[in-house]
Amino acid sequence: MQKIKPGGTLVIKSIDGLGRNYEEILEQWCILTKEKRTAILGLV
C-alpha cells in the first residue's frame, strides 16, 4: 500500500489480494481508488 503512488495502476490476480474479508477489501478499494486515485486492473 505504501509503495503505490497516486495516479498509478495496481494489477491484481484476485480481488481477495486486497483483504481477508468483504469489509477489508471494500475499505482498501476505496482508499486506492478515491484517496490515491489508483486504477485497479485484474488479470483473467
Encode pLDDT of 1-44 as tens digits: 788 889 999 999 999 888 999 999 999 999 999 999 999 999 87
Contact 10, 32 (CB under 8 A): yes
Scan for cell 482498501, then name that residue: 28
- What whole-number distance in Å separates Cα of residue 43 and Cα of residue 21? 20
CB 34 within 8 A of CB 2: no
pTM of the model: 0.79
Neighbours of 33 (CB within 10 A): 13
Summarised one tens digit per residue, pLDDT across range 9-18 is: 999 999 988 8
**pLDDT at residue 2, rounded to an integer:** 82
Q: Which amino acid is at 41?
A: L
